[in-house]
């Protein structure tokens, strides 16, 4: 592959500074790096950590982006032979690597490494024509068949949005046919409905207003509940409650309203990062129903590979809007305003 002397990348130079496009010199990958030609990079709500300067110890300038699909250009001399090869289809997610020495790493919980490297936050991410990725990060081999009837842009969100809800559901104990309530039908929720339905759950999806009812059913929901007209928790309680409650919309107010929809012995998992306050739950609810309330975040490279394989086999697909790199600021502002149907993705030739 003929390489340019430099490549274009989105850059944020300081908290709340305007997004700019910069030229980054091409260099040989460091010993344990993989150099990747980016084909698609999804814009995630978590990119706001860079723009707002909210991540502890964040340094600038920084290129965000942690939903990346591309192809290997070259690998560092320290990368194990056969681990990655030139031209291979790969993905890069949220997890930016691990130290291998902290207590979490020693227990195999690499996603919770105390150094917590994150793609696009503690190291430059995928909103660029090329990117350098540590080999122990969430860079994963993707099967070529994953692109069957799917574009690079549609595949990219699976590396974060898809992986998050897939992992949350796959790690929850339930029986086929159990009821699942998906709160929110957005970037995470539209994928959660698909995964839950294909995992054998009876899915009820809720959002504010009737506009997404037909979409929810087309994605696999048994029923759509308009939260602006119906008390969702009361409605679900009359059905016996939901064994699985997955909260995907980033609103504490909306999440609080559905917590009591949980069934006896059910699990409530919060994956949406609420920015409007704290989640409040009655201890009596948890006690009497023996219910569990937990959070969930992205897994590691093995989890991502499993997510993409399942998505391909079960025909789970993200719904995206494509933008050019030069239009990143517009795409980002559209995401912040809640405009995407349902993920905005930067695409490259």
Give the C-alpha separation, 341 to 70, whole Å.
Answer: 23
pLDDT of residue 116: 87
Give the C-alpha separation, 119 to 111, whole Å.
Answer: 12
Rg (CA), the chain: 20
- 162-295 adopts what CATH topology? Rossmann fold (3.40.50)
pLDDT of residue 341: 85
Q: Where in the chain is the domain with CATH 3.90.180.10?
A: 6-160+299-347
Q: Quick check: helix, strand or coil at residue 264?
A: strand
Q: Are the CB atoms for 261 and 236 separated by under 8 Å?
A: yes
pLDDT of residue 1: 65
Q: Where in the chain is the domain with CATH 3.40.50.720?
A: 162-295
Q: What dotted CATH number matches 6-160+299-347? A: 3.90.180.10
Give the C-alpha separation, 259 to 242, whole Å.
Answer: 10
Give the C-alpha separation, 121 to 134, whole Å.
Answer: 14
pLDDT of residue 90: 97
How does pLDDT run across 14-63, given as a tens digit for each residue? 999 999 999 999 999 999 999 999 999 999 999 999 999 999 999 999 99
Give the C-alpha separation, 245 to 192, whole Å.
Answer: 11
Q: Are the CB atoms for 128 and 143 separated by under 8 Å?
A: no
pLDDT of residue 340: 87
* Averaged pLDDT, 229-236: 97
Q: What is the largest CA-CA distance in the chain?
A: 64
pTM above 0.75, yes or no: yes
pLDDT band at 140 (very low <50, low <70, confident <90, very high): very high
């Amino acid at each position: 592959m003929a390489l340019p002397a430099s490549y274009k990348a989105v850059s944020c130079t300081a908290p709340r500074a305007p997004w700019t496009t910069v030229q980054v010199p091409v260099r040989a990958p460091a010993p344990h790096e993989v150099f990747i030609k980016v084909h698609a990079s999804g814009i995630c709500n978590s990119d706001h950590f860079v723009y707002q300067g909210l991540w502890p110890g964040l340094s600038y300038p920084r290129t965000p982006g942690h939903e990346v699909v591309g192809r290997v250009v070259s690998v560092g001399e320290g990368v194990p032979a056969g681990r990655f090869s030139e031209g291979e289809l790969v993905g890069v997610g949220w997890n930016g690597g691990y130290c291998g020495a902290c207590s979490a790493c020693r227990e195999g919980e690499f996603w919770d490494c105390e150094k917590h490297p994150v793609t696009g936050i503690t190291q430059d991410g995928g909103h660029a024509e090329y990117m350098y990725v540590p080999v122990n990060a969430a860079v994963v081999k993707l099967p070529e068949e994953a692109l069957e009837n799917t574009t690079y842009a549609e595949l990219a969100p699976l590396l974060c949005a898809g992986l998050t809800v897939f992992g949350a559901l796959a790690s929850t104990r339930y029986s086929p046919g159990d009821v699942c309530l998906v709160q929110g039908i957005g970037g995470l929720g539209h994928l959660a409905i698909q995964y839950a339905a294909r995992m054998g759950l009876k899915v009820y999806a809720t959002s504010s207003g009737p506009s997404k009812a037909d979409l929810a059913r087309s994605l696999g929901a048994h029923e759509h509940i308009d939260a602006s007209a119906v008390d969702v928790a009361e409605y679900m309680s009359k059905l016996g409650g939901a064994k699985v409650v997955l909260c995907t919309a980033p609103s504490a107010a909306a999440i609080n309203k559905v917590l009591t929809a949980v069934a006896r012995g059910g699990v409530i998992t919060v994956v949406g990062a609420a920015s409007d306050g704290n989640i409040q739950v009655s201890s009596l609810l948890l006690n009497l129903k023996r219910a569990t309330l937990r959070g969930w975040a992205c897994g590691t490279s093995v989890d991502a590979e499993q997510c993409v394989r399942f998505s391909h086999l079960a025909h789970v697909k993200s719904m995206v809007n494509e933008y050019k790199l030069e239009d990143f600021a517009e795409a980002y502002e559209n995401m912040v305003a809640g405009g995407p149907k349902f993920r905005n993705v930067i695409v490259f030739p």
